[in-house]
Amino acid sequence: AVSLPFAVGQCGNQVGCRFWDLALREHAAVNKKGVYDEALSSFFRNVDTRSGGNGPDIYKGKICSLKARALLIDMEEGVVNEILQGPLRDVFDSKQLITDVSGSGNNWAVGHKIYGCQYRENIVEKLRKMAEHCDCLQCFFIIHSMGGGTGSGLGTFVLNLLEEEFPEVYRFVTSVYPSGEDDVITSPYNSVLAMKELNEHADCVLPIENESLFEIVNKINQMINSGKLGSTVKQSLVTSSAGSAKTLQEKPFDAMNNIVANLLLNLTSSARFEGSLNMDLNEISMNLVPFPRLHYLVSSLTPLYTLADVNVPSRRLDQMFSDAFSRDHQLIQADPKHSLYLACALLVRGNVQVSDLRRNIERLKPSLHFVSWNQEGWKTGLCSVPPVGHSHSLLALANNTCVKPTFIELKDRFMKLYKKKAHLHHYLQIDGMEQSCFSEAVSSLSDLIEEYNELDATKGGPRIDPSRLKIAV
């Protein structure tokens, strides 16, 4: 089953670039015989390029030329051009790119209304072509940031489009939220306008905050440099491109983008590789979204650095589970342990068995607060193939009320600007934009926050089980 990623905007494409590189590396490590298999087909097409350019797809047999199944969209050329001139140029062809020159000026309305309208047909056509090449399309991934204009505006336009054209296919969105110190002044507007779209049209959203990625990268660098763990800690393969399929020059955001790329790889690992308890993407949506609007999942990835020694005693394995629930491994600024869980998923990769899973769930459960109607709400997956450079790894996805503060802060920053009507005219002058777009967007966000409030209110309260059906004896 195919997962089709759409990288929209600068951030989206930079993450996307890391993602494709890591995916190639991961499959190369597993696929020793160079045979195009089911696992590869979820992200790559196998194209016969012997007759030059664009040959037919080859569905079985030896790998000829791998082309990523993806759509790269940006309203500026810089990032996409770099990708096309870089080591990954053979992985994409021009039919997968949609670019323009002038950018969106950090304006959601430009991205959503102007470019959306302008490129709609182009996007639909390319999308249909890509879908034709897949025997089974299971889900779409949108990778973007919320704070700018293209990723945020055009990205959410694409989200709408996907729902219209392929309503049955799941829509996962990986959204990078701006921090408080973001240098784009209008990022709160862009983010809140985009949030409304995510509320209404996404099946699952994985919010990411740059601050968290930054702190994680810093901590790892500190640990490596301080020599605290001695020479047993190698340069992390989660955050660096060491050992990549193609050699790349490290750029400042690369380590942070690597984390997000690894998140996506791990998320799809059980759908691609075998294991004793498979977890497909549609299962993630099924189990982690109890009510349609509550589809924001806090993610954490462990381990974040590689240990050189091969024998990993189970104590270290258990540490991996503990870390997944600690504040500093979350990819947003949140603390799930002290908030309320609606649902939790654990996807383990590598030589980890069901007893390891059970032991750790039993161990960690008492310190976590689960909603009354889902006291034992765990979704688990075991994938036999570990990520490159690790013997095992864990991805935790939590539907937890700890996302609430992120949304509240976003709303506050929005209101600060909105009350003064700062920069509003840049948006309102765009065709199709009215004041109501803003009020509806912030209202949608407020409603969402309120739903989390109501759930939080039940935390720690008395547990009253509903009375069972009575049967006449």
Which residue type does 422 have?
A: A
Q: How far is the CB of 133 from another protein (least distance, A)?
A: 14
Return residues touching another protein (CB under 8 A): 1, 38, 135-136, 138, 274, 276-278, 280, 282-283, 285-292, 314, 342-343, 353-356, 358, 361-362, 365, 372-380, 382, 465-466, 468-471, 473
Which residue type does 18 have?
A: R
Q: How far is the CB of 294 from another protein (least distance, A)?
A: 10
Q: Are 314 and 356 in contact (CB under 8 A)?
A: yes
Which structure tokens are listed for 289?
């979204």
| Max intra-chain CA distance, the chain | 77
Q: How far is the CB of 325 from another protein (least distance, A)?
A: 16
Q: How far is the CB of 384 from another protein (least distance, A)?
A: 10
- If the CB atoms of residues 259 and 342 are measured against another protein, the closer one turns out to be 342
- If the CB atoms of residues 393 and 399 are measured against another protein, the closer one turns out to be 399
- If the CB atoms of residues 254 and 356 are measured against another protein, the closer one turns out to be 356
Q: How far is the CB of 170 from another protein (least distance, A)?
A: 9
- If the CB atoms of residues 164 and 362 are measured against another protein, the closer one turns out to be 362
- Where is 39: in which H helix or E strand? helix 38-41
Give CA–CA dist 135/120, Å, rounded. 24
Give CA–CA dist 36/40, Å, rounded. 6
Helix (H, G, I), strand (E, B) or coil at 369: strand
Residue with tokens 């209008």: 186
Give CA–CA dist 85/364, Å, rounded. 48
Q: Where are the alpha helices (DSSP H) in 202-279?
A: 210-226, 254-272
Q: Where are the alpha helices (DSSP H) in 325-434?
A: 354-364, 404-419, 424-428
Strands in 35-182 per DSSP E: 44-47, 65-68, 71-74, 97-99, 137-145, 170-177
- If the CB atoms of residues 59 and 291 are measured against another protein, the closer one turns out to be 291
- If the CB atoms of residues 283 and 456 are measured against another protein, the closer one turns out to be 283
Give CA–CA dist 169/129, Å, rounded. 16
Q: How far is the CB of 59 from another protein (least distance, A)?
A: 13
Q: How far is the CB of 381 from another protein (least distance, A)?
A: 9
Q: How far is the CB of 171 from another protein (least distance, A)?
A: 14
Which residue, 25, 91, 27, is CA-closest to 244?
Answer: 25
Q: How far is the CB of 1 from another protein (least distance, A)?
A: 5
Give CA–CA dist 92/154, Å, rounded. 21
Q: How far is the CB of 313 from another protein (least distance, A)?
A: 12
| Spatial CB neighbours of 52, under 8 Å, sequence gap ≥ 6 | none
- If the CB atoms of residues 310 and 473 are measured against another protein, the closer one turns out to be 473
- If the CB atoms of residues 145 and 360 are measured against another protein, the closer one turns out to be 360
- If the CB atoms of residues 45 and 413 are measured against another protein, the closer one turns out to be 45
- If the CB atoms of residues 309 and 362 are measured against another protein, the closer one turns out to be 362
Which residue, 359, 414, 397, 420, is CA-closest to 172?
Answer: 397
Kind of pairing between the strands at 204-209 and 170-177:
parallel
